[in-house]
Amino acid sequence: MHAIAPQLPSTLEELHLHYNHIADRGATLLVNLLTSKVDNMRKLDISGNYSITSNGMRGFVDVIQLPASKFIDLRLLDLFSRVDEDVVIGLIMAMANNTTIKILEFDSTKVSESGRNVTTKILCDTSSIASICNLNHTWQSIVNSHNMIPQDLLSLLVISNNMNKAAVIR
């Protein structure tokens, strides 16, 4: 990871590092690199890096939440076998607050019933007009690889994406 970092152009828009055996140390280095280039980065694919644990994924959650983040396409398949539920929920919260991501490839079985209750409020909060207006409606594609995202949570992601704010507010 040290060898490629100095050679990355400042205008880098896509980074494909799927199935590269990146672990937490590499994830931390990548997060540090992305933090400085997040305003240019549009696509990130880190799918299949099974050795990344909760410690490594937390950094990616932080990058997605940066105000300068301009990710459009985020591919996070086959990553969550060693990631705790709180990090998965953190990722969902980051997604809910990010208004640029249109494509998400994500799978996790790490969301319990109580976790789904939290994410329900995050993804489809219809408790006030302000919360409805603040829902993220930029998602165009959510890939549910191997049906690993619980169906009720996937339904909320789709509802949030397709929700007509005016109809809900009435």
Mean predicted confidence (pLDDT) in 105-127: 70
pLDDT at 142: 63
CA distance 30 to 15: 10
Number of H helices, E strands in the chain: 7, 5
Predicted confidence (pLDDT) at residue 161 exceeds the cutoff of 80: no
- Is the separation of the CB atoms in 104 and 141 below 8 Å? yes
Neighbours of 117 (CB within 10 A): 11
**What is the value of pTM for the model shown?**
0.75
Task: Give the pLDDT band (50/70/90) at residue 98.
Answer: confident
Q: Report all structural domains of the chain as residue ranges with CATH numbers, in order of start.
A: 11-113+138-148 (3.80.10.10)
Q: Report pLDDT digits (tens) over 33-70.
A: 888 877 888 999 999 999 999 999 999 999 998 888 88
Residues of the chain with pLDDT > 70: what percent?
64
Tokens 């099974």 — which residue? Answer: 50
- Measure the CA–CA gap between 87 and 80, rounded to whole angstroms: 9
CB 6 within 8 A of CB 32: no
Q: Which amino acid is at 114?
A: S
Tell me which of 35-44, 111-120, 137-146 is least confident: 137-146
